[in-house]
Amino acid sequence: MSAIEALYIFDEHNTCVLEHVWNGRPPSAQILLPLYLAHQSPRPSLIYISNTNPASLIYSIVQDRLLFLSPSSVDTDPLAHLEFLHRVADVLEDFLGSPLLSQKIETSYDVIAQLLGEMCDGGTVATTEPNALRDVVEAPSWMNKLLGGVGLPSASPSITPSSSGAFSSIPRQGISSNANNSNSIAIPWRRNNVRHTSNELYVDIIETLHVTLSPSGRPLSAFAHGTIAFTAKISGVPDLLLALTAPGGAHSLASILQLPVFHPCVRLARWKERPGELSFVPPDGRFLLAGYEVDLLGPDYLGRAVASPKMGMNLNIPASVEVRTGLGATGSDFEVRLLLDPKFASKGGLSGGRDAFSKPTGFGAKAGGTSSHPIVEDILIRIPIAGGVRNLSELRPSKGEAHYSPGDSAVEWRVAGRDASALSGNLHSSGAGVVATLRCTVVGAQDDEEDESGGAGLEIKAETWEYDDTGGAYQNKKADKESVIDEKNSVDRSAKRIKSNRTLMPGSASISFQVKGWLASGIKVDKLVIDTQRSRGVGANMQPYKGVKYLTVSKDGVEIRC
Amino acid sequence: MESISRVTSMLETARDLTLEAARDASFARKSSTRPLPPVQLKKLLDSRHDKEILDGLRKVLSMSYKHQPTLQYFSNIIKNIASPNLEIKKLVYAYLVQHAEEAPDTALLSINTIQKSLSDSNPQLRALALRTMSSIRVPVISQIVALGIKRGVGDMSPYVRKAAALAIPKCYRLDPSTMPLLVEHLSTLLGDKQYYVAGAAVMAFLELCPERMDLIHPHYRSLVRKIVDMDEWGQLATMRLMLLYARKSFPKRTKRVKKTKSVGDQERKPRKGFYDSESSEDEAGGASEEHGEEVLILDPDLDLFLRSIHPLLQSRTSAVIIAVARCYLYLGNTTYLDNAIGPLITLLRSAPDIQEVALYNIIQICLHYPQAFVSYASHFLVRATDSPSIQDLKLEILTLIFSYSPPTTRSLILAELSHFTTSSNPHLVRSAVQAIGRCAQSSPTTQLSTQCLKLLLKQLSSPDAHLVASSLDVIRHLIQRDPQAHVKTIVRLAKSLDALTAPAARASIIWLVGEFASVDPEHNIAADVLRILVKGYAGETDAVRAQTVLLAAKVYLQYLLATKKEDSVPEQPKNEDSTIEEGGWSPTATTPETSKLDSNHPIPLLYQHTLLLARYTPSYDLRDRARLYRSLLSTPTTSTALASLLLLADKPVPLAPSPSQSRKDFVLGSASLVIGEQSGTGGLKGYEALPPWVKEGEEPDPKLRDEVGGRGEYVSIGAAGGNVAGVSAGERLDGATGSKGGLGVGRVNGAGGKEKTLDDWLDEESEEEESSSGEEESGEEESEEESGVEYETESEEDNEGEEGRLVK
């Protein structure tokens, strides 16, 4: 078990910013890094390197462009090791502010040393709950955190830790303050003595789309991976109840919301009994309450699709793409069309901030502006380009900006949300429609060599083999075929070009976007209440500020094949 | 579950910009952290003001993380260890742990002060001191550390007891001779009422003495009940332990039941061979083998464990889900494993690095139990953004479940695979083609494998030479498995020689023709193919020429054999006749009655011609081959036997197993499984194979697992019991006092020994707060102390008792 030997963190220039050894005599960071980099990118998260002493397994994760490496000389549970690295990254981010930057690490070695000491004890994972760590390790001073959180490089010497001693006289809530009752560990994930001047609760439900469309545009699979992020800033030990609903009512939630996973604080029994109700005592601060999955196509989609091939595409996604390849005289063009669902078009550029409930009772009015008018933002279409393509001679987007330079692996076409919504505004009547198109012409490496190589060797015929059972007629066909070959050779140059251009066509296209105030699954927060009976240290008539945010994200998530 | 920072990054739109800015700034900023001159730094460390000391410590820590020498400040730092300021103390400890080894003598100076901290009133400080002391890697202090652990084990704070548990393996590493003492402490900690401590104790146990299963018996049930409340790491360790424990303590009992047409029957049917190999030892009389199927009988205690880890399938930690699946796979029956399939799929939602490792594990289960994943087929569709290794793994899963899928899923899988054969990524193309080949192999019906073959044949028309070559490779494998069924295919392939240009593909086809054209003597096209090939010999590459020469040799040999046969059975019509006559190539079709070796027969002529061509080929390898064949076949009457041994021997059928088949023996959830062959046959260092099931009759007495009630009062429980545990008076008292002040100590299995989760406790919290009376509060410390001591003796007795039983 205690096989986590060390942690090395490298910044984006591959310089080592942290080297912490827990156990054993692992190879140093300077030795491991070149061996790790020797592997071809994308590098697997677990690499075995036998030419170090001792032979080591290297686990790696990348977080905010920082590379975390951790060697181990014995066989361990790889997932546990990787999870641990993720926890370290999360905790560092929690303490040092997000995003995690190498400067932040370099200026807070004192905090990191304590954290790493607490998290892993002699190679055995000890405490990884951020709240428990908050109890024993102090976050960097507020001044530092404030500036670090903004992400400014702390060039000014006045805020580096060396001189932040000036603030150490500020009374701190170190260990000493809660020493009296720390004999007991009540709730492992919640820190003791939480105090907040203003009490706030935020629920962020984020769904990430993973949709695969067949070349014909029909969906093959469509999943939304949901995550419920929760931010609790409440004094005492509150006991919360979060109820979700789905379009078909609360009872259909169980079938919509599949394969859930929960933070340890969630009472599983309650969920089993009444799906959709999450009863929990939250950790302090931000955490992930639950994760789930929604099959947007519904159960047994394949069966239904085969049974009725003409079945309409009932997939409800705000934006998708269509690709047509092999266009033009020589088949060297392809066209990508952006399709927007008019429902998500809106003229008013509403930004979906937190729509807050004014009062806990005011849940009915929660929708605010964004939920009723969700709009698609940050549209980016990526079209991976085949390796044989030398260049794209023409990029003609009808809207937005497309970018490709020779050597890139993909064309990126960005359509500003304003453009898209303005365009689709015109489409209100005509249903889902094409908003913009991008047309490209590929130039393959073979185009030049063609003349030299022409004539040599046999050409492939356009004929495809049928698996017929007429092998007996073999001999007779022969004569015809030979003549056909000659004919082909002389006649059809352009067919050949179409053929060769076909290999240069993109094989897929994917679209990224985000929609605020809308969830693909249609799940909504029904209510969020504090159970005052069960809570402790919570004022009877405390009215916390509650906020709910919905966000649907596609990160290259909608993919069409062509 | 995704990690919080990944989710946060989606919510923060400015994050990328910040990262960008930081990267730009980091160039400019590199030089700004220059070290202070040593004199000044020492002055800071020796200062009277906490502020300045802290400053100095921070500087030294930064230097040490940046690999600057800091040893010269060691003594200045150690001086501050007695500082009343917590902040300072913690930083000194942190430095000490990292650098004690480099200056052991100076480090020893600090031991005394740390030891004093062990009796500090603040439990967190006590824990910190214990942890620091045990982390100092100076062997001399092992006795002091052992003493510290002893104190820690009896401490009333769970923090300290946990630190003591984690210190045990470190102490052992310092000095292995402390082992007996440590084992004693460990057995106390294993029975700790706090899940928090027990989890750490299990980790230490696995590190220190995983073979001492006798220590686990008395705590088995309590550990099993605590597992839900432990943190992830404790859960992982406990499941690892219980897997070993169960294999060593519960003999595998199976019974045969009549096959019933139940719902699950259809699923279970194809999975013979999973448990069969293991159970064959137990099953002496296999008379009923045809009539019934094997069902695992679970020991009640084992069942208790398997049931208790069921809620963990909803864990956010991927490793925990895999660990549960591992327990179900190696201990439980299929009903349990079925429950784990869905949660395994959830791992595909996590970060790509975890996804990859999870997929290796899913394949491992899929190899044993493919039909369970059929309904999740669409989760394994390959995405363009996946990394190549993930794509390969997904394709493999699709092929594994292929033959178990309903027709719609099958067509989806085939469509998927054929789509990727048109990809521009050669690696993916090869994987997809091989996957189609595996699908064809595993297809239950010939119709399906025909469909696969059709797909592959379609690839032959592709202009991509690479694709053609790899699909032909797969086709060749398929034909070799059953040449009789593919006679027509060979004819068709021979036809395609006209159009194909890729040398590797041509060579492959020629080989196939030479090998299998003779299967159907009526339509032997080999000689004719040879004729056509010889015409274009000059334009071929060496690989094709070599195959042409080989084909010529084979054709000639077959001709020789046929003429020889005719000698003995004269009335047999000649093999080659049909083809050759139709070709019209030879004007004089030789009749069987002419002399055996008619030099005017087209085949010998063709053969001689080919050898001549080969003789003047630049490649010496080819010329050598030609020479070999010439001498081999020079004396037609005598050497045919030897030649046919050489040339016409049956080739072994190539098998294209699933790529992960080679990893099948590795235990689920191990690093060796992910690394695969590179880790060697025995796995990586530290890899432990699964122990075999204990033999019937050799298992430890189940009574050993009966709970002793913890506090001297023994209440016997029936072997099947488990829910009704003895409750001693002391335990009740503990239970009551636990809720004092709202934050209880040993509440987990407080009243009634019944399983009680943290949630239950929170539920009941409010009522108990009122009910717990004041007078019990005072007793808390004493009872804690007492329990520790009493328990120790208890477990010793128990060990003796067990030994006695084992001897018997």
Q: Which two tokens stand for residue B795?
A: 């477990």
CA separation (Å) from B28 to A105, B14, B21, B203, B332? 17, 22, 11, 46, 60
Please list every residue in chain A whose beta carbon sits closer than 8 Å to the beta carbon of residue B67.
19
Tell me the domain boundaries of chain A: 6-149, 200-302+526-549, 318-446+504-514
Classified as helix, coil or strand, B287 is: helix
Tell if the CB–CB gap between B353 and A551 is shorter than 8 Å. Answer: no
Length of chain B (residues): 808
Same fold, A200-302+526-549 and A318-446+504-514: yes
User: Would you say residue B410 has pLDDT above 80?
Assistant: yes
Tokens coding B108: 């020893």
The answer to whether A559 contacts B383, with C-beta atoms less than 8 Å apart, is yes
d(CA B716, CA B725): 8
H helical segments located in B633-740: 640-647, 671-675, 729-738
Give every CB contact of residue A267 below 8 A, 6+ residues apart in sequence.
A279, A280, B759
Q: Which residues of B434-471 are buried (b: 16+ CB within 10 A; e: fewer)?
A: bbbbbbbbbbeeeebbbbbbbbbbbbbbbbbebbbbbb
**Looking at the complex, does the CB of residue B538 fall below 8 Å from at least one CB of chain A?**
no
SS3 B297: strand
Confidence at B438, pLDDT banded by 50, 70, 90? confident
CB neighbours (10 Å) of residue B46? 14
Locate the chain A residue with the closest alpha carbon to B121. Answer: A179
- H/E stretch holding A396 reads strand A389-397
pLDDT at B259: 53
Q: In this predicted structure, what is the pLDDT of residue B295? A: 78
**What percent of chain B has pLDDT above 70?**
75
CA distance B750 to B764: 12
Q: How far apart are CA A4 and CA B20, in angstroms?
A: 32
Q: What is the pLDDT of residue B149?
A: 93
Q: Nearest chain A Cα to B385, which residue?
A: A556
Of A83, A90, A128, the CB nearest to B4: A90
pLDDT value at residue B23: 65
Chain B residues in contact with A551 (beta carbon < 8 A): 10-11
Contact A221 B378 (CB under 8 A): yes
3-state secondary structure of B585: coil
* Contacts by B643-650, CB closer than 8 A, 24 or more apart: B643/B553, B643/B557, B643/B560, B644/B557, B644/B561, B647/B550, B647/B553, B647/B554, B647/B557, B648/B554, B648/B557, B648/B558
Q: Which amino acid is at B198?
A: A
Residue in B204, B500, B669 nearest the CB of A79: B669
Q: Phi and psi dihedrals of A262, rounded to 5?
A: -130, 155
Q: Which two tokens stand for residue A503?
A: 């290999």
How far apart CA B795 and CA B212 sit, in angstroms, is: 14
CATH class for the region spanning A6-149: alpha beta
Which of B204, B463, B674 comes nearest A500 by C-beta? Answer: B463
Closest by Cα among B549, B524, B525 to B537: B549
The string of DSSP codes covering A106-136 is: HH-HHHHHHHHHHHEETTEE----HHHHHHH
Smallest Cβ–Cβ distance between B124 and the set A79, A175, A467 belongs to A175
The CB-side HSE value for B390 (13 A sphere, CA atoms) comes to 24
Minimum CA–CA partner of A82 in chain B: B354
Q: How far apart are CA B599 and CA B166, in angstroms?
A: 89
More confident residue, B188 or B745: B188
Q: Which residue has the tokens 């550029």?
A: A349
Look at B159 and A182 and tell me if their CB atoms are within 8 Å: yes
Closest CA to B493 of B484, B481, B507: B507
Please, what is the Cα angle at A329 between A328 and A331, to 5 degrees? 60
Size of interface A-B (CB pairs under 8 A): 455
* Contacting residues of B for A181, CB less than 8 Å apart: 741, 743
Beta-bridged to residue A545, according to DSSP, are A200
**Which chain A residues are Cβ-neighbours of B28 within 8 angstroms?**
153, 155
- pLDDT in single tens digits along all 562 residues of chain A: 557 899 999 988 888 888 898 888 888 888 899 999 988 878 888 899 888 888 888 999 998 889 999 999 888 889 999 999 999 999 998 888 878 888 888 888 889 999 999 999 888 888 888 888 888 888 776 544 444 434 333 333 333 333 333 333 333 344 333 444 444 556 888 888 888 888 899 999 999 999 998 888 888 889 999 999 999 998 888 899 999 988 877 677 888 888 899 999 999 989 888 888 899 999 998 899 999 999 888 777 777 777 776 655 567 788 888 888 888 777 788 888 888 877 776 444 333 333 333 333 333 333 334 556 777 888 899 988 877 788 888 888 888 888 887 777 888 888 876 666 666 555 554 455 677 888 888 887 655 444 443 333 333 333 444 444 443 434 344 444 445 455 555 456 677 777 777 777 888 899 998 888 888 888 889 889 888 888 887 776 778 899 999 999 998 888 988 7
DSSP string, B154-208: T-SSHHHHHHHHHHHHHHHHH-GGGHHHHHHHHHHHHT-S-HHHHHHHHHHHHHH
CA B401 to chain centre: 18
- Does the distance separating the beta carbons of A458 and B349 come in below 8 Å? no
Q: What was the pLDDT predicted at A492?
A: 61
CA nearest neighbour of A207 among B10, B382, B354: B10
The CA distance from A430 to A342, in Å, is 9
Contact across the interface for B158 and A184, Cβ inside 8 Å: yes
B91 neighbourhood in chain A, CB within 8 Å: 110, 113-114
Asked if B105 reaches chain A (Cβ–Cβ under 8 Å), the answer is no
Q: What is the DSSP string of B613-655?
A: HHHT-S-HHHHHHHHHHHHHTSSTTTTHHHHHHHHSPPPPPP-
Cβ contact A559–B384 (<8 Å): yes
Residue A426's pLDDT is 58
Write down the residue that tokens 């004089």 correspond to. Answer: B588
Check: CB of residue A455 under 8 Å from CB of residue A490.
Answer: no
Residue A58 backbone dihedrals phi, psi, to 5 degrees: -115, 120
Q: Does B259 touch chain A (CB under 8 A)?
A: no
Cβ B61–A79 below 8 Å, yes or no?
no
Give the model confidence (pLDDT) of A207-223 as tens digits.
999 999 888 888 888 99
The minimum CA-CA distance between B620 and chain A, rounded to whole Å, is 25
Length reported for chain A: 562
Contacts of A556 in chain B (CB under 8 A): 384-385
Q: Reduce the DSSP state of residue B67 to 3 states and report it.
A: coil
- One CATH from 2.120.10.30, 3.30.750.24, 2.60.40.1170, 3.40.50.300 for A318-446+504-514: 2.60.40.1170
pLDDT by residue (tens digit) across B480-519?
A: 877 777 778 888 888 888 877 778 888 888 888 888 877 7
- Residue A79 and residue B357: Cβ atoms within 8 Å? yes
Q: Which residue has the tokens 């909608």?
A: A558
What pLDDT shows up at residue B803? Answer: 43
**A484, A454, A456: which is closest to B536 by C-alpha?**
A456
Q: Are B301 and B331 in contact (CB under 8 A)?
A: no
Helices (H) and strands (E) in chain B, counts: 38, 2
* Cβ pair A50:B678 closer than 8 A: yes
Main-chain phi, psi angles of A280, to 5 degrees: -160, 160
User: Mean per-residue pLDDT for B680-702?
Assistant: 82
Q: Which of A183, A191, A450 would you mutate first to test chain B, the one with the most B CBs within 10 A?
A: A183
Percentage of chain A exceeding pLDDT 70: 73
| B409–chain A Cβ distance below 8 A for any pair | yes
| CATH no. for A200-302+526-549 | 2.60.40.1170
| Structural tokens at position B532 | 């056509």
Residues of A in contact with B538 (CB under 8 A): none
B766 touches chain A (CB under 8 A): yes
Cis amide linkage into residue B570, ω under 30° from 0: no
A507-534: burial string, b at 16+ Cβ within 10 Å, e else: bbbbbbbbbbbbbbbbbbbbbbebeeeb
